């Protein structure tokens, strides 16, 4: 018996040694392969980097600043390029809105820039960004220089941008044509599906217009949700139609009638109704550009792209001691660490650092957020209130400054908004799923919960009356705090705030009359206002920088890119169900972090 035991022990010891050497060799081989891959990626990285740097062309007198919207991704904050695309030389340049409008402004006084040539087809920008780019181009035109545009497939978004031009040219080739059908949105409702799956989504909220969770409990929109959606879409359309009509010298009502009656169904019809100036072939366009730029022939035209001009101009920036900081709050408001969104602790720390930095004399808070976590929102607002006590704090609203996005910013000294901004949504909700019946009835799995109290059921038991009452009390407390903070920030009575709150979403143009914002204005106008408030209206005297800065190393990007290959793909990418998939993933991630949300239900894309 003893001998057998010793033999067995020796056997297992030998097997452990074999496993050890296998693991050691596997680890060594893995390190070797990883080293080779890292070396390969690093060499590719350097090659692309040098190509990127050396590929920036110089400027010559009479140069044409080319803005090809299909070759640019516009963002609110600086974004790291997708590593795999970058290494393959296929990365789409990302330009922040501030860099774009700042660079267009500099082009006004640059004697080497003759005109701007705009190709808006295939754009990747939201409607508020297009609104601000239009303003920047309009100011460029006021300098006496021309903006000319060329479209082959003008959509509402691309034509909205193009309409600001001195001359709008469309393709004379067959197959080209407009796709201008107004503004619309699709609302998905999963109530019937979840009922069939026996999923009980328990939505508790304050605000009859707070519809962010309706898609999970209903099969159609509530009357309040439908009302606010219709009025919101109508307000956005009015802003777009008014801008287009003013630029083209036509009546906004007539333009709306043309769209409604499908009269704009060809490039020829666009010219007929004075929405475009001329149809051109490729050769005809070349001749026009040569003439307008002052070049003797097209082959003498010197182009510089917006991305190259941004890089060229950024190199010439002098470092001044005093600064205006543009603090970009873009994305969901979340707890934890999340570079792609507005992480509560990260942003609170960044705000505190700006408050303590003596070089920073004023801060412009650029908000492009539909909201999110109540806890993270309140952390950020607390720090912003402290900053506002020491330095001018000006808000600039992008596409969204709603719910949590409005919570953090309503106490700013002055609020600028785009007309198409979606803001307000002053309301709170909690959404708690109960999947006990799903497991029992559909999966035939019995779940037995054993806990120290009767309230340990989690998602495997419905809320009882006591639990529901406790959640509702929290919702009411948070809602009242939201109303009070808006009343204090905007100088209103809480009762007056409550009348326009209830979770209702308003456009920027409507929010002015309600007292939620101060005036329609761009990010550039907000920066100018901040400069005046800080005591020096001359923007050239300021170093204007965007925050927070995200510092990532090559290895960070490598690890992230390798990890992102698994479980992060969009199954329904480029299909009508992509937005639904995105919504479900977003709510799953958010609900795993927090129970209470101040978030807007809408995300609108204009193409």
At 264-318, the pLDDT tens digits run 999 999 999 999 999 999 999 999 999 999 999 999 999 999 999 998 877 554 5
| pLDDT per residue as tens digits for the range 37-46 | 555 444 444 4
* Catalytic one of 77, 119, 135, 210: 210
Please state whether the peptide bond connecting residue 548 to the residue before it is cis, i.e. omega within 30 degrees of 0: yes
Q: Mean of the pLDDT values across residues 441-456? A: 89
Quote the pLDDT of residue 3.
31
d(CA 519, CA 98): 19
| pLDDT per residue as tens digits for the range 152-197 | 999 999 999 999 999 999 999 999 999 999 998 888 999 999 999 9
Q: Answer with the residue of higher pLDDT: 130 or 13.
A: 130
Quote the pLDDT of residue 16.
47
Q: Answer with the residue of higher pLDDT: 87 or 307.
A: 307
Q: Are 387 and 363 in contact (CB under 8 A)?
A: yes
pLDDT for residue 365 is more than 80? yes
| DSSP character at residue 296 | S
First to last CA, the chain: 81
d(CA 332, CA 212): 14
* Catalytic one of 149, 373, 403, 430: 403
Quote the pLDDT of residue 59.
84
Tokens matching residue 593: 């972090």
Of 12-16, 32-36, 239-243, 377-381, give the lowest mean pLDDT range: 12-16
Q: Reply yes or no on whether 124 is catalytic.
A: no
Q: Mean of the pLDDT values across residues 437-445? A: 92
What percent of the chain clears pLDDT 70, i.e. is strictly above it? Answer: 77
Quote the pLDDT of residue 556.
45
Q: Answer with the residue of higher pLDDT: 125 or 604.
A: 125
How far, CA to CA in Å, does 62 sit from each of 67, 103, 137, 296? 16, 17, 18, 11
| Helix pair 523-533, 97-109: axis angle to 10 deg | 80
The pTM score is: 0.83
pLDDT for residue 424 is more than 50? yes
pLDDT for residue 218 is more than 80? yes
The three-state secondary structure class of 493 is: coil
Residue 208 burial by Cβ neighbours in a 10 Å radius (0-12, 13-18, 19+):
middle
The residues, ordered by sequence, that sit 6+ positions from 572 with a Cβ below 8 Å of its Cβ are: 578, 580, 581
Q: Reply yes or no on whether 210 is catalytic.
A: yes
Q: Are 541 and 323 in contact (CB under 8 A)?
A: no
pLDDT for residue 536 is more than 90? yes
What CA dihedral angle connects 234, 236, 239 and 242, to 10 degrees? -50
Handedness of CA 303, 306, 311, 315 (dihedral sign): positive
Of 78-87, 300-309, 489-498, give the lowest mean pLDDT range: 78-87
pLDDT band for position 457 (50/70/90)? confident
d(CA 416, CA 517): 7
| pLDDT per residue as tens digits for the range 126-135 | 999 999 999 9
**Any idea which architecture 63-180+264-314 has in CATH?**
Alpha-Beta Complex (3.90)
Average pLDDT of the chain is: 84
Every domain of the chain with CATH number 3.90.226.10 lies at 63-180+264-314, 323-564+571-599
For 323-564+571-599, CATH gives 3.90.226.10
567-586 core/surface letters (b: 16 or more CB in 10 A; e: else): eeeeeeeeeeeeeeeebeee
């Amino acid at each position: 018996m003893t001998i057998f035991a010793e033999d067995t022990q020796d056997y297992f010891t030998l097997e452990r040694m074999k496993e050890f050497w296998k693991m050691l060799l596997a680890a060594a081989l893995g390190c070797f392969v990883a080293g080779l891959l890292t070396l390969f990626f690093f060499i590719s990285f350097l090659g692309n980097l040098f190509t990127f740097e050396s590929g920036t062309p110089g400027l010559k007198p009479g140069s044409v600043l080319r803005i090809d919207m299909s070759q640019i991704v516009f963002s609110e904050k600086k974004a790291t390029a997708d590593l795999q695309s970058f290494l393959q030389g296929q990365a789409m340049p990302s330009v922040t809105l501030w860099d774009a409008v700042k660079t267009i402004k500099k082009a006004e006084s640059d004697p080497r820039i003759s005109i701007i040539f705009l190709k808006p087809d295939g754009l990747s920008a939201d409607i508020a960004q297009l609104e601000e780019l239009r303003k920047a181009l309009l100011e460029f035109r006021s300098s006496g220089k021309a903006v000319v545009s060329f479209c082959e497939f003008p959509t509402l978004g691309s034509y909205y941008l193009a309409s600001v031009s001195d001359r709008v040219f469309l393709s004379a080739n067959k197959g080209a044509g407009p796709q201008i059908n107004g503004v619309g949105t699709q609302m998905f409702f999963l109530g019937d599906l979840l009922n069939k799956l026996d999923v009980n989504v328990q939505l508790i909220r304050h605000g009859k217009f707070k519809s962010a969770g309706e898609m999970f409990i209903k099969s159609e929109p509530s009357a309040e949700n439908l009302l606010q959606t219709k009025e919101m879409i109508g307000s956005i359309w009015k802003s777009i139609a008014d801008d287009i009509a003013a630029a083209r010298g036509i009546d906004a009502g007539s333009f709306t009638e043309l769209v409604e009656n499908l009269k704009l169904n060809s490039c020829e019809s666009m010219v007929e109704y004075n929405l475009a100036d001329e149809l051109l072939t490729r050769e005809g366009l070349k001749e026009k550009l040569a003439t307008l730029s002052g070049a003797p022939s097209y082959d003498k035209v010197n182009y510089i792209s917006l991305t190259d001009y941004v890089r060229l101009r950024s190199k010439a920036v002098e470092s001044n001691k005093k600064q205006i900081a543009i603090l970009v709050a873009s994305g969901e408001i979340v707890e934890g660490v999340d570079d792609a969104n507005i992480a509560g602790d990260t942003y609170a720390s960044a705000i505190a650092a700006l408050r303590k930095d003596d070089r920073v004399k004023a801060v412009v808070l650029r908000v492009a957020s539909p909201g999110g976590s109540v806890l993270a929102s309140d952390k950020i607002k607390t720090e912003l209130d402290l900053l506002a006590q020491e330095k001018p704090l000006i808000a600039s609203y992008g596409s969204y400054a709603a719910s949590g996005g409005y919570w953090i910013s309503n106490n700013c000294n002055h609020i600028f908004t785009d007309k198409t901004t979606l803001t307000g949504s002053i309301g709170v909700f909690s959404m708690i799923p109960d999947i006990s019946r799903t497991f029992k009835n559909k999966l035939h799995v019995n779940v037995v919960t054993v806990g120290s109290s009767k309230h340990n059921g989690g998602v495997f038991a419905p809320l009882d009356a006591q639990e529901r009452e406790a959640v509702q009390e929290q919702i009411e407390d948070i809602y009242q705090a939201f109303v009070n903070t808006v009343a204090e920030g905007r100088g209103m009575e809480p009762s007056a705030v409550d009348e326009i709150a209830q979770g209702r979403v308003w456009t920027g143009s409507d929010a002015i009359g309600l007292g939620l914002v101060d005036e329609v204005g761009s990010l550039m106008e907000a920066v100018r206002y901040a400069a005046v408030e800080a005591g020096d209206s001359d923007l050239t005297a300021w170093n204007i920088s965007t925050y927070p800065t995200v510092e990532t190393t090559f290895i960070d990007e490598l690890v992230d890119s390798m990890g992102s290959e698994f479980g992060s793909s969009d199954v329904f990418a480029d299909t009508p169900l992509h937005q639904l998939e995105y919504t479900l993933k977003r709510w799953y991630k958010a609900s795993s972090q927090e129970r209470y949300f101040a978030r807007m239900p809408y995300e609108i894309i204009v193409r």
